[in-house]
Amino acid sequence: MSTPGSWIICEKSGRWAAALRVSLERRKHTPFTSRILETRSLAELDLAIKEHKAAFVLVEVRPESMADVLSFLTKRNWGTAQVVAMLEFGGERSTDFRLATDALLEAGAIEVIESSRQLGAVLEIAERQPQNYWTEHTGTIADRAWAALPWQDGQ
Amino acid sequence: MARALAPADSFAKLLDESSRPVYVVDAQRRIVYCNVALAEWMDLPPKRIVGRRVEYHSEEQKSDEKVRDDTAPLTDLCPSPRALAGEAGAGTISCQARDGRMLHRAAEFVPLDSWAGKKRKQPSDGKDPQLFAVLVLLAREEMSPQEIASGVVSQGSADELHRTIRRFRRGQSSHYSIKSLLGSSSAMKKVRSQVDAAAASGANVLIFGNLGSGRAHIARAIHYKNAADDAKLLPVDCRLMTDDLMTRTLDRLRPSSNTSGPRAALLLENLESLPAAHQSQLLAALRENWISARILATFSTQAPAVEVEVKASDDVVFHAEHAVEEAQPATSGVLTALVDLVSTILIRVPRLADRVEDLPVLAQFFLEAHNRSSSKQVGSIRADALDALALYRWPGELEQLRETVEAAHDACASHEIVPSELPPLIHRASHAAAHSRKEPERIVLDELLASIEKEAILRALAQAGGNKSEAASLLGMTRPRFYRRLVQLGLAGESAENGEATEVPEFIEHDATE
């Protein structure tokens, strides 16, 4: 069953998960709960997405894992989950970065970031997801009917 | 005395005598020079090499015909992206021998910048020098398999990244081929021919269809159809658009001063969901040519549809339904303008429920795809199970079919999926289909009310023994109004309205006297 508000992070170090926790705490107005699942390999990530098909996914990409991540993204069998790629290329390789970004976006990542400072922009995108995905694909008929009514905020 | 050669000619002559293959690629990725050694290595005359493009992104599986075709790009001669971006470096260049073997040689890439060669001084405006060519020098000997293998390791991430992206794009081209648009229904045949026309035209394309119907797959098939097109594809889901994402998307499509590659393609998924502010931003960017991109857009047809006709070219006209105004009435002006701009060609994706003849091949495709990622292998779906699938209306289109087949695969106890292994949703659809719904009765309200009034008047007259004054009183009506209604309902002639006659139908008189 899908769990709205789940974040799944696939990375080696745990650095991005820590940054995400801080970012979520700072944005207290975030409209969904912030459950973060950490995975350490693409195989673990695959299993986690099967359990949480509407999750928001952050996946770390290193030069040596580029091929595997591209292959993972192109499988496109993870339901409504959205994937953001986090580049860990190091150094000043702007050409490599641009090439990798283009390929990852083309493969299906909705955004590519290279710094945890860019997580704010990712949270903004994620906050649009509940309106667009989770309400469409989860909840009872009554929930969906209620969500479709106008003047939800009482104005 | 022999005439002295021009410096360029003498330099070319020197290179021609070199035993090392050498060639030069200009900023438009065309080979502008190759020496004899390269021509011999490729087993092609120089005139069939010079002038051809080298491609990096959309390298196809190599075929001898492709190399021998003078118009096809020479993908394997493409310098590394870094070299094309102005960085000197080393890598590997390959070509296919006549016997089909791949030959590999180590290569050095030397970028040539314009201000260094022409103006002989650095530009005063501080801009980076403009790349105008890359000189490629190949080694004298072929690389051994061991050297190739060790080269992959020793050249590190840069070359490996290059190879990885080439493999990825090759896979994309294959995965999104027009053949992958499965189905033999006339609707899908039409879609395939439209995709063909759209790919050949290079025009903007708008694809209508339900969510999950494979609209994005069709857009990608259009993009990847042209093997010579090495432009990047940038997909964006408009439902997730934020200010920041919009800015970054437009930045990624701004024509770079340092590259001159082909036009990129922007894939806008769910265009109808693009927020109004971003619609205006995108419209301005397209109208003012701030970005250079072909637009491929998908649009939901779940709102009420209006038939429109758009001319793709003088001889190709596509009909499609669109629901622009219904989808977003508050912003229809901008959205309509945006749709007009991106809808040079319109393609309508048929609903799965409208092409159930395609269902067996689609279900089998999803089954085999799931076999590849599962240890359990299921061979087929039994005919009666396919019949049950055909009864369902598939609001989630192909995506829902894929999920359904995967669930049935997981539940399958043998090599073949049977009806009992299909999800409950499909059973309920079968059950509902077995009990046909009663067609709801239709009424015309005015006629129904008139018939009720007529019945009440007749009963009142009967009750009053044919006395109209008393009948009017029973019905709570004045005499003039009662007479008017008698005439209007056809129960008396015109004179009755003036109270002059009491032409009550005979059966009433008869009833009244009984």
Task: Give the separation between CA A142 and CA A137, rounded to whole angstroms.
Answer: 13
Task: Quickly count: other Cβ atoms within 10 Å of residue B166's Cβ.
Answer: 20
Answer yes or no: pTM beyond 0.80: no
Residues of A in contact with B402 (CB under 8 A): 77
Residues of B in contact with A63 (CB under 8 A): 157, 160-161
Question: Who wins on pLDDT, B331 or B315?
Answer: B331
State residue B302's pLDDT score. 58
- The residues with which A144 forms a beta bridge, in sequence order, are none
Q: Under the phi-then-psi rule, with left for phi > 0, alpha for psi from -120 to 50, and beta for the rest, what region is B86?
A: left
Give which of B128, B239, B300 to mutate to test A binding, by max A Cβ within 10 Å. Answer: B239
Whether B172 sits inside 8 A of A132 (CB atoms) is: no
Task: Give the separation between CA B299 and CA B206, rounded to whole angstroms.
Answer: 7
- Out of A69-78, B29-38, B112-121, which region has the weakest mean confidence (pLDDT)? B112-121
Question: What is the percentage of chain A residues whose pLDDT exceeds 90?
Answer: 22
State residue A112's pLDDT score. 94
State residue B360's pLDDT score. 92
Looking up tokens 């609001």 gives B395
3-state secondary structure B122-177: CCCCCCCCCEEEEEEEECCCCCCHHHHHHHHHHCHHHHHHHHHHHHHHHHHHHHCC
Taking the CA of residue A109 and the nearest CA in chain B, the distance in Å comes to: 9
Q: Under the phi-then-psi rule, with left for phi > 0, alpha for psi from -120 to 50, and beta for the rest, what region is A123?
A: alpha
Whether B245 sits inside 8 A of A111 (CB atoms) is: yes
pLDDT digits (tens, 9 = 90+) for B168-214: 887 888 788 888 888 888 899 999 999 999 988 888 999 999 888 88
Nearest CB among A67, A75, A82 relative to B240 is that of: A82
State residue B181's pLDDT score. 87
pLDDT digits (tens, 9 = 90+) for B130-142: 667 888 899 888 8
Instruction: Of B261, B22, B265, give the one whose Cα is nearest residue B131.
Output: B261
Instruction: Of A98, A96, A72, give the one whose Cα is nearest residue A83.
Output: A72
pLDDT digits (tens, 9 = 90+) for A40-57: 999 999 888 888 777 889
Nearest CB among B234, B242, B273 relative to A121 is that of: B242
Mean pLDDT of chain B: 77
Task: Give the separation between CA B494 and CA B488, rounded to whole angstroms.
Answer: 9
On whether any CB of chain A is under 8 Å from the CB of B241, the answer is yes
Per-residue tokens: B389: 């699938």
Which range is most confident: B11-15, B95-99, B323-327, B401-405?
B401-405
pLDDT digits (tens, 9 = 90+) for B483-513: 999 998 888 776 555 555 444 444 444 433 3
Mean pLDDT of chain A: 75
Per-residue tokens: B31: 């080979």
pLDDT at A151 over 90: no
Whether B161 sits inside 8 A of A66 (CB atoms) is: yes
pLDDT at A2 over 70: no
Mapped onto helix, strand or coil, the DSSP state of residue B48 is: helix
Whether B240 sits inside 8 A of A105 (CB atoms) is: no
ipTM exceeding the 0.85 mark: no
- Cα atoms in the Cβ-side hemisphere of radius 13 Å centred on B99: 2
Task: Give the separation between CA B153 and CA B111, rounded to whole angstroms.
Answer: 24
pLDDT average, residue stretch B323-345: 66
CA-based diameter of chain A, in Å?
53
Residue A94 pLDDT grade (very low, low, confident, very high; cuts 50, 70, 90)? low
pLDDT average, residue stretch B5-26: 82
State residue B268's pLDDT score. 93
pLDDT digits (tens, 9 = 90+) for B444-482: 888 888 888 888 888 888 888 889 999 999 899 999 999
Please name the amino acid found at residue B445: L
State residue B331's pLDDT score. 45
Please name the amino acid found at residue B285: A
Residues of A in contact with B232 (CB under 8 A): 102, 106
Q: Which of residues 113-132 of A touch B (CB under 8 A)?
A: 121, 124-125, 128-129, 132
pLDDT at B332 over 50: yes
Give which of A65, A75, A99 to mutate to test B binding, by max B Cβ within 10 Å. Answer: A99
Please name the amino acid found at residue B297: A
Host H or E run for residue B296: strand B293-300
Whether B168 sits inside 8 A of A128 (CB atoms) is: no
State residue A60's pLDDT score. 94
Q: What are phi and psi of B436, to 5 degrees?
A: -65, 140
Residue A69 pLDDT grade (very low, low, confident, very high; cuts 50, 70, 90)? very high
